[in-house]
Amino acid sequence: MNMKPKQPYGNTTNVTKILTSRPYWDMEHVLRNRLRTAPQFVDNIELEAELRGHNGCVNCLQWSDNGHILASASDDFHVMLWDPFRHKLLHDLMTPHEGNIFSVKFLPKRGNSLLVTGAGDSKTFVFDINRQNDNPIRQCSCHLQRVKRLATSPRNAHMFWSAAEDGLVLQHDLRQPHTCHGQDANVLIDLRSYMSTVPEVKCIAINPQRPEQLAIGANDIYARLYDRRMISPGNVGTVDAPNRRTEVMGDTVSVTNLIDNIPKDGCVQYFCPGHLGSKYQAASQLGEMYQYKAVTYLTFSPDGTELLANMGTEHIYLYDITRSRNPLFLELPKLPGAAEGSKSGADCSGSDASVGTEKTKHKFSPDVEQLKKEGNASLEKEQFLQAINKYTQAIQKVNGKDCAILYLNRATALMKRNWYGDVYAAVRDCHTALRLDPHYVKAHFRLARALLKLDKLKEAQICLEELVRRFPSYAKNPGVLMLEKDIGLEMDKARHRSPCSRMQTESYEQKENYWRTMSIDYEQRYIGHCNTKTDIKEANYLGDSNYIVAGSDDGNFFIWDRHSGIIHSVFQADELIVNCVQPHPYICMLATSGIDHEVRLWSPQSPEKPAVRRTTVVDSIVHDNQTHMQIDPFDSIAPDQAICRAS
């Protein structure tokens, strides 16, 4: 007997199933994402409420999976659970911690009942908030230094990871008993095995779409991405550990077991801004400059394709983890019609007839031409932030095509502003201008000048030689002659400097040095905030990832346009320092905290109400913040010559 298959949702009683089926849910999810960061909502964000109850700095915030509960943890050893919509305290958990709590996480898919904490007493606790008492149901004291961050995976309800200043990342599985006697194989990463300096892991994150990917930030300039499937957790207490390091401090001799469980190839990828990685590799005496740099927070984009890193005494950087982008210093494009095999793609014939002419005279649309004009005017007034923003807006409007002049003008503004990483960003803009127009003489010149400012003397010399070879009529240009002289003077100084000495690389550093040389460069950076006073300052994607948000040492939090890097708005959120910025998972709401004892909630308010917390003097705030960050001693200021004027 043939039976007809039942049609799904074949009668009117299945309306609920239809509405909650996957296609409908996905559509609702997409719409919800778009609405929560619709421009009109973000434009009207203001302070909604202050949640009072803590008696110390609030160091961490975390939303429950469904967004119904906000957890906050503090120096007062308390974890407080809030109803964000009624602004009501639901539960006050007094933890057994004896140090400042730096991280709190809900374990997913557990009904928001299991809570994990990590603190300055080197301990982690797991609590079941549905129990009658507040005693932890699990505890771990395997770390030897402060636990700075915890991570959970939305696809794994039984595991969490802890990162601490002892250089270790531990993997915790609630399905297995734990005794804290050093016998459990719970050490996933041991940075001490790869670094001669004392490593401190500051932050950790799990890719929400690919939970096998784990990222950490430490007290250096690198964001590290690991594939957990290729790592076998080790045991710190094992007597026959693969490496043992002996350290002598005074009269005390300590033997530390090190775990080298990371394969050299395919398991780990490092990410680092090109200008920082280059300097770090170039010399060994940079310790003083780099001892203050650390990745204080990192997070994956909701779709799992990007990694966002907030770097102490630097900026916020966005990395694309799906493709490699190597640091770029000198890569001159081949001139159209140049002979194959000519140096750096140059036409070496020396004939003016084969050189061609610049193609930078473009007729832009009126709105783009107006932005370019405003950018040039701001540049002349030395209003560099405004000039850079105008050129960026113009580039976006023409979609980056046929606009070499805009990239070069932005490079000019970047070099004159000369904040952290600006000269390297100018180098990247010069390369883009040259790809768009290989005959652009000014782009060749400005690239050589920028390379000189980055102390890339050999590359600067090659670039200038290629400029003269390609465009012989500029050989006697005053700007070219002056730049040639400047490069020569710096090369003479370099020859008389004592060579950098570096101790023989130990075996446990060989992998680390290899990984650093393979570092991937950033895609976008976000400038304006100040991150020097704390090592727990966050940066997050806001809503559907169209915006980036981060706190600052000046008591503000900043919102940037994710695609352009332009500051959207700045809000006063703390008397001293904003550390935590945690967007609600489903609606346009943001929770912030810092040195103040209050947790503050932000959401769209009526546009008819006057803006109270939104700041209007953005330029001066940004300038002050950058002034507070120590000037990079390697980016020496050298005035551009006549050929470098804005076009």
Over the stretch 84-107, which tens digit does the pLDDT of each residue have? 999 999 999 999 999 999 999 999
Q: Give residue for tokens 């784990």.
A: 214
Domain boundary among the residues 443, 468, 496 is at 496
Does residue 644 belong to any structural domain of this protein?
Answer: no
Closest by alpha carbon to 479, among 646, 647, 645? 645
Q: The domain containing residue 621 runs over which residues?
A: 48-238+258-328+515-634
Which residue did the predictor score with more confidence, 199 or 240? 199
Asked whether residue 272 falls in the same domain as residue 232, the answer is yes
Asked whether residue 222 falls in the same domain as residue 132, the answer is yes
Confidence of residue 196 (pLDDT cuts 50, 70, 90): confident
How far is Cα 92 from Cα 94, in angstroms, rounded to an integer? 6
Start-end of H helices in 244-365: 274-282, 287-290
Does residue 252 belong to any structural domain of this protein?
Answer: no
Does residue 647 belong to any structural domain of this protein?
Answer: no
Does residue 31 belong to any structural domain of this protein?
Answer: no
Q: What is the mean pLDDT of the chain?
A: 83
How far is Cα 507 from Cα 196, in angstroms, rounded to an integer? 10
Asked whether residue 223 falls in the same domain as residue 264, the answer is yes
Asked whether residue 89 falls in the same domain as residue 134, the answer is yes
CA–chain centroid gap for 24, Å, is 34
The DSSP annotation for 434-486 comes to HHH-TT-HHHHHHHHHHHHHTT-HHHHHHHHHHHHHH-GGGTT-HHHHHHHHH
Asked whether residue 448 falls in the same domain as residue 302, the answer is no
E-strand ranges in 23-155 read 45-51, 58-63, 70-74, 78-83, 88-94, 101-106, 114-119, 124-128, 138-140, 147-153
How far is Cα 44 from Cα 78, in angstroms, rounded to an integer? 33
Computed on alpha carbons and rounded to an integer, the radius of gyration of the chain in Å comes to 27
Q: SS3 for 255-285, per residue?
A: EEEECCCCCCCCCEEEECCHHHHHHHHHCCC
- Is the confidence at residue 360, as pLDDT, over 60? no
CA of 209: how far to CAs of 104, 109, 206, 214, in Å? 21, 16, 9, 11
- What percent of the chain has a predicted confidence (pLDDT) above 70? 80
Q: Give residue for tokens 């240009």.
A: 477
Domain boundary among the residues 496, 523, 557 is at 496
Domain boundary among the residues 447, 468, 496 is at 496
Closest by alpha carbon to 226, among 251, 181, 259, 261? 261
Does residue 607 belong to any structural domain of this protein?
Answer: yes
Does residue 211 belong to any structural domain of this protein?
Answer: yes
Confidence of residue 172 (pLDDT cuts 50, 70, 90): very high
* 8 Å CB contact between 146 and 165: yes
pLDDT-wise least confident of 122-136, 420-434, 578-592: 122-136
* 8 Å CB contact between 522 and 317: yes
pTM: 0.86
Output the pLDDT for position 113.
85
Output the pLDDT for position 203.
97
How far is Cα 488 from Cα 483, in angstroms, rounded to an integer? 9
Half-sphere exposure of 108 (CA within 13 A, CB side): 13
Look up the CATH number of the domain holding residue 378.
1.25.40.10
Per-residue b or e along 294-328, where b marks 16 or more CB atoms closer than 10 Å to that residue's CB: bbbbbbbbeebbbbbbbbbbbbbbbbbbeeeeebe
Half-sphere exposure of 220 (CA within 13 A, CB side): 23
- Count how many domains the chain has: 2
Asked whether residue 446 falls in the same domain as residue 411, the answer is yes
Output the pLDDT for position 343.
40
The dihedrals phi and psi of 28, each to the nearest 5 degrees, come to -65, -40
Confidence of residue 255 (pLDDT cuts 50, 70, 90): very low
Helix (H, G, I), strand (E, B) or coil at 381: coil
Output the pLDDT for position 243.
52
Average pLDDT over residues 582-588: 92
pLDDT-wise least confident of 18-27, 332-341, 441-450, 634-643: 634-643
> Which amino acid is located at 613 in the chain?
R
Strand partners, 223: 217, 271
Confidence of residue 344 (pLDDT cuts 50, 70, 90): very low
Confidence of residue 12 (pLDDT cuts 50, 70, 90): very low
Look up the CATH number of the domain holding residue 116.
2.130.10.10
Asked whether residue 320 falls in the same domain as residue 382, the answer is no
Over the stretch 378-424, which tens digit does the pLDDT of each residue have? 999 999 999 999 999 999 999 767 899 999 999 999 999 999 999 99
Average pLDDT over residues 600-622: 88
Asked whether residue 492 falls in the same domain as residue 522, the answer is no
Strand partners, 105: 116
Other C-beta atoms closer than 10 Å to the C-beta of 587 total 16
Residues in Cβ contact with 101 at an 8 Å cutoff, skipping those fewer than 6 apart: 59, 60, 73, 74, 75, 77, 79, 95, 117, 118, 119, 120
630: left (phi over 0), alpha (psi -120 to 50) or beta: beta
Does residue 284 belong to any structural domain of this protein?
Answer: yes
Over the stretch 207-246, which tens digit does the pLDDT of each residue have? 999 999 999 999 999 999 999 999 999 887 643 444 545 4
User: What's 428's DSSP letter?
Assistant: H
Output the pLDDT for position 29.
54
* 8 Å CB contact between 198 and 167: yes
Average pLDDT over residues 252-260: 62
Asked whether residue 77 falls in the same domain as residue 184, the answer is yes
Asked whether residue 319 falls in the same domain as residue 437, the answer is no
Does residue 22 belong to any structural domain of this protein?
Answer: no
Continuous segment of H or E residues that includes residue 627: helix 618-628
Which residue did the predictor score with more confidence, 239 or 52? 52
CA torsion, ordered 522, 524, 528, 531, to nearest 10 deg: -30
Output the pLDDT for position 494.
84
Q: Give residue for tokens 């473009």.
A: 362
Average pLDDT over residues 526-532: 95
Asked whether residue 200 falls in the same domain as residue 93, the answer is yes
Q: Is 473 exposed, middle or buried (0-12, 13-18, 19+ CB in 10 A)?
A: exposed
Asked whether residue 465 falls in the same domain as residue 398, the answer is yes
Closest by alpha carbon to 206, among 253, 243, 247, 171? 171
Half-sphere exposure of 444 (CA within 13 A, CB side): 27
